[in-house]
Amino acid sequence: MPHRSPLHVGMRRVFSKVLLAGLLAIQQIDARDLKSRKVTTRLRARDDAAFDWYKLDASEDITWTPCGSGQQCARVLLPLDYSREADSPKATIALQMQPAAGNATYKGAVLVNPGGPGGSGTQMVAEIGTNLTELVGAGYDVIGFDPRGTGATLPLAQCFETESELQTFAQRTPVLVNASDDSIPYSKAQNDAVAQLCQRKLGGNGSEDANGTVEEWGGGRFMDTASVATDMLRIIEKLGQDKLHYFGVSYGTILGQYFASLYPDKVGRFVIDAVCDAEYYPWNSALVETEGVIDGLYSYCHLAGPAKCPLYESSIAKIKARVWNIMKTKTPLAVPFAAQGPAVVTEALLQQQILNAVYFPISEWPEFANILVAVETNNQSVLAASDFVAAAAPACNSTNEPAPWLRTNSAEYAIACSDYPLADDPAAFDAYLREMTRESPIAAPGWVGSYLACMKWKIEAKKRFAGPFAGNTSSPIFVLSNVLDPVCPFAHARRVHARFPGSGLLVQNATGHVATLTPSACTVAAVQAYFANGTLPAAGAVCQPNVLPFVGAVGGD
């Protein structure tokens, strides 16, 4: 899809790095080690070549088949349209499970969601299933599922004919959407094109005949988050489980709020981490803490000192001035011999990179600092080898078409724009751009494209749930947040905590997106205790991190 959405950028990395938490805290890994752990975005290359999701039988019951690395996969048929179950065509939902350890007391299944919207739960489990088991406890099965529109689930929100067609189109996407140039009208037209492709593929043909096909009914009309919440209920029912145990991050916290509001008496052990308030979905008031997180780039660099931060200067203000001087005066810079072909590093690209890096300060900032210094000194060997520069020159390989479930898709908008349709109103967009720019001048131009996409989206969900997002849940929810989160602010977590009576709130004194991605023995112990015993954090509880950006390991444990 043309726009790198805010939550989606996060999600992509989240499922490759989630659960650094427990393990990193335990192993005392510092920031430099994290860098070397970079995981490729094309994950599952190993198993996927061999494993064909579409050859896996789909059935009304959940029937597990081994799919590598001790994991189990299944495809389950559920009604596409929950308002007409009797004669609706079926959605085919892909599931992937990291089974509970045989010798532990069995406690049920925990469903997980990696964010997005558009993130693949099966990929999340494929990549970090064992790490999730460590977080929730060996007595639980951990099950990732691909929400409607995503991954190996059908219908899939795929609007382009091929991946290379999509990548070629996406290359012309403005990096930043900024009122001072022509990127806004261009971006609107580009999103209009995508919206029309998607309408043709996913919008249906206007009939809902009994025994008709998903294509006729229009798969894209049934990708709203409430339908996904109902899918989760049906999945646990099919597993013979009364309550939903759940771990969701980022957009996964929104899915969690939908579920807990629609089915409050079905809530079991339920952790939401990096909470975006569903009342403000999609993407409103999301950037109120972003600048605070970005300020940490300068302050943690200063705290770490010259040996650990290559941008170090004698004061925080001087570090900040150096960063912006590099961005503004050393670009555009040619990188002729980059790994994936010649590239140009622009100020806009670096600004976008700040927004990407701000999600995960511990793992991303050291790399970002290295790139800035390389730009400052025109260090071509560093730039040519950098993933970041490679991403600026994306490769389109039309003879290397990925399997459908690994292709880029438009699920993010199929889901978000269904949940929250936006009128195609230029004045409303201007107001949104102004508000986001007030919240974070640095992040807003890389953020607001998602809003344009929903303004242009043409498929209307048949039904949607618009709140209220609140409930007296059968079992208390565990709300977890960093003290400063760049896209799902702590302020949102506090509001959600207040609307779910009895819920617990744990604050981690760290910056970045998703608390469990920052190593903290305290946070991991709190989550483990909750899944083990239902123990909630005490009122006002704060956990300290065991790693700080640039600084590395801190604290005794």
Ligand X SMILES: *[C@@H]1O[C@H](CO)[C@@H](O)[C@H](O)[C@H]1NC(C)=O
Select the span of 41-49, 63-71, 187-195, 378-386 touching ligand X (CB under 6 A).
378-386
The CA-based angle 512-516-368, given to 5 degrees, is: 35
Smallest gap from residue 179 Cβ to ligand X (A): 7
* 210 lies in the site for ligand X, by CB under 6 A: yes
Among 41, 83, 315, 377, which residue sits at the site for ligand X (rule: CB under 6 A)?
Answer: 377
Smallest gap from residue 542 Cβ to ligand X (A): 5
Smaller CB separation from ligand X, 444 or 453: 444
Among 169, 292, 509, 553, which residue sits at the site for ligand X (rule: CB under 6 A)?
Answer: 509
Among 532, 541, 551, 553, which residue sits at the site for ligand X (rule: CB under 6 A)?
Answer: 532
Token digits for 13? 């990395």
Select the span of 52-60, 62-70, 96-104, 327-335 touching ligand X (CB under 6 A).
96-104
φ/ψ of 369, rounded to 5, equals: -60, -40
- How large is the C-alpha radius of gyration of the chain? 22
449-508: contacts with ligand X (CB under 6 A): 470-472, 501
H helix intervals, 361-443: 361-376, 380-385, 387-392, 411-419, 426-439
* 181 lies in the site for ligand X, by CB under 6 A: yes
* 533 lies in the site for ligand X, by CB under 6 A: yes
Helices (H) and strands (E) in the chain, counts: 22, 15
Smallest gap from residue 499 Cβ to ligand X (A): 7
d(CA 375, CA 323): 11
* 40 lies in the site for ligand X, by CB under 6 A: no
Name which of 268, 231, 234 is nearest 136 in CA terms. Answer: 268
- Non-local CB neighbours of 302 within 8 Å, separated by 6+ positions: 309, 312, 313, 315, 316, 319
Smaller CB separation from ligand X, 203 or 445: 445
Smaller CB separation from ligand X, 193 or 551: 551
Q: For 425, which DSSP code?
A: -
* 529 lies in the site for ligand X, by CB under 6 A: yes
Chain position whose Cβ is nearest to ligand X: 400
CB atoms within 10 A of CB 114: 31
* 399 lies in the site for ligand X, by CB under 6 A: yes
Count of residues touching ligand X (by CB under 6 A)? 39
Distances (CA, A) of 466 to 151, 203, 210, 431: 26, 21, 28, 22
Residues in the chain, overall count: 557
- Non-local CB neighbours of 137 within 8 Å, separated by 6+ positions: 104, 107, 528, 531, 532
Among 424, 491, 535, 553, which residue sits at the site for ligand X (rule: CB under 6 A)?
Answer: 535
* 386 lies in the site for ligand X, by CB under 6 A: no
Select the span of 68-76, 98-106, 162-170, 250-258 touching ligand X (CB under 6 A).
98-106
* 342 lies in the site for ligand X, by CB under 6 A: no
Select the span of 57-65, 126-134, 277-285, 454-462 touching ligand X (CB under 6 A).
126-134
CB atoms within 10 A of CB 85: 10
Smaller CB separation from ligand X, 76 or 348: 348
CB atoms within 10 A of CB 139: 17
Smallest gap from residue 501 Cβ to ligand X (A): 5
CB atoms within 10 A of CB 538: 11
- Positions that interact with ligand X (CB under 6 A): 17, 20, 23, 101, 103-104, 128, 130-131, 178, 180-181, 205-207, 210-211, 216, 377, 379, 381-382, 397, 399-400, 437, 441, 445, 470-472, 501, 509, 528-529, 532-533, 535, 542
